[in-house]
Amino acid sequence: MRVLSGIQPTGRFHWGNYFGAIRQYIELQNENESYYFIANLHALTTIRDKQVLQQNSLDAALDLLALGLNPDKATLFMQSDVPEVSELCWLLMSGTPMGLLERCVSYKDKTAKGLSANAGLFTYPVLQAADILIYDADVVPVGQDQVQHVEVCRDIAQSFNHHFGETFVLPKPRVMPVAAKVPGTDGEKMSKSYDNTIEIFEPLKPQRKKIMRITTDSRPMEDPKDPDSDHLYQLYSLFASDADREAMAAKYRQGGFGYGEVKKAVADASEAYFNEAREKREALAADTKKVAEILGDGAAKARKKAAEVLLRAQQACGVK
C-alpha cells in the first residue's frame, strides 16, 4: 500500500503539528511504502518572501528527519523538485468544474480569515489532487477536516477516467485517530492562527519561559481540581509516562499545589521527550549537504514514478 502526505512549510512545527499529524505519519512509514513531500508550491499562496520560503522548507526537512522520518523507509522530497506535478495539475484543471472548487471549505475558511483570494488558493485542491494522483497513492492520511480534499481528488480523477479511460488510482482517505487535545498557551487549540504555539525545536530557555506564562485560572492552591478539564494537565499528559500521569492526576484531585509546579513539570517532561530529536536536529543542521542528498534522492525516486503516471495521463487525453 502506498501512503502519501504533504506538509506545508508555512512556519516551524509546533506541538500540535507533532501530536496531531507528524507522529502518525512517521508511524506509517514502518508498515507502508510512504511518500512525504514538503509542499513549497502550496506555500506560495501565502508566503511571498523567497528567503522565508527557502528557510522554512529547509527547517521542515530538518524537523521531519530529526523527529524520526527515515529516508531508508520513506521517500522525502520537495514538491517543486517534481515538475511533473505542475504539468499534471494543468491536465486536471482543464476539466475541473468551477463549482467543485467553490464548494471547498478550506477556500472559504482561508478567505474568511483575511487571506487574499488569489487563483492559487482557489485552485489549491487541483494541485493537491495532482500531488496525490501522480504517485498512484492508495491512502492519504488526513484529519477529519481534510477528508473533503481527498473526496475532491477522487471526483477529479473519476471525471478524467470517465472521459479518457481508466488512468488514475482512486485514493482513499485514512482519517487519523483523534489525537489528544493539544491546547496552546491560552488554553485554546494550538494553532499558528491563534499565535499560541509552542514550537518543537525553539531554544529551551525561551520555550520554558513561554510554558511558565501559560494562562491558568485563579482557583486557590488548596482547592481540588479536575485534571481532565485542565489544559496544563492535558499538555503534561502528552509527554508523561502512565505512572507520572496518574500521579499528577491524583495531585490535582487532592489539591494543595500551585500551577507553577505543573508548568515546571510540563517543561521538564517536554524537554526530555524531544531531547533525542533535538540532538539529532543539531547534527543534521551542521550537515545540510547530507540533507540535500536525502531530498535529492527522494526527488529522483518520486520523479521516476511521477513521469510514469504523467505519461499515462498524457497519452490518455491525447497530448502525447
Active-site hit among 110, 225, 251, 263 = 110
In a domain, 193, yes or no: no
- Greater confidence (109 vs 296) lies with 296
Cα–chain center distance at 319: 35
In a domain, 162, yes or no: yes
pTM strictly above 0.85: yes
Using DSSP's 3-state secondary structure scheme, residue 182 falls into coil
In a domain, 53, yes or no: yes
254 and 313 in a common domain:
no
In a domain, 191, yes or no: no
Can you give the pLDDT at residue 263? 97
At 218, is the pLDDT very low, low, confident or very high (cuts 50, 70, 90)? confident
Give the residue-averaged pLDDT of 38-57.
Answer: 96
214 and 106 in a common domain:
no
Tens of pLDDT, residues 134-176: 999 999 998 777 899 899 999 999 999 999 999 999 999 998 7
Residue 221 has pLDDT above 60, yes or no: yes
145 and 46 in a common domain:
yes
Give the residue-averaged pLDDT of 96-114.
Answer: 82
User: Is 311:320 a contact under the CB 8 Å cutoff?
Assistant: yes
156 and 83 in a common domain:
yes
Tens of pLDDT, residues 301-312: 999 999 999 999
Give the residue-averaged pLDDT of 102-107.
Answer: 80
Active-site hit among 181, 192, 210, 264 = 192
* pLDDT > 70 fraction of the chain, expressed in percent and rounded: 99
The residue type found at 260 is G
At 180, is the pLDDT very low, low, confident or very high (cuts 50, 70, 90)? low
165 and 312 in a common domain:
yes
Pairing state between β 33-38 and 172-175: unpaired
Active-site hit among 189, 210, 280, 301 = 189
Can you give the pLDDT at residue 118? 85
Cα–chain center distance at 285: 21
* pLDDT > 90 fraction of the chain, expressed in percent and rounded: 82
Give the torsion through C-alpha atoms of 104, 105, 109, 110, to 10 deg: -30
Can you give the pLDDT at residue 167? 98
Number of structural domains in the chain: 2
In a domain, 279, yes or no: no
Residue 108 has pLDDT above 90, yes or no: no
31 and 171 in a common domain:
yes
In a domain, 283, yes or no: no
138-173 exposure pattern, b = at least 16 Cβ within 10 A, e = fewer? bbbbbeeebebbbebbbbbbeebeeebeebbbbbeb
CATH, residue 216: 1.10.240.10
Give the torsion through C-alpha atoms of 25, 27, 31, 36, to 10 deg: 30
User: Is 182:190 a contact under the CB 8 Å cutoff?
Assistant: yes
The C-alpha cell that represents 279 in the structure block: 540532538
CATH, residue 165: 3.40.50.620
State yes or no: is 110 an active-site residue: yes
Residue 179 has pLDDT above 60, yes or no: no
In a domain, 280, yes or no: no
259 and 174 in a common domain:
no
Residue 270 has pLDDT above 80, yes or no: yes
264 and 133 in a common domain:
no
**228 lies in which domain range?**
202-273
154 and 84 in a common domain:
yes
In a domain, 299, yes or no: yes
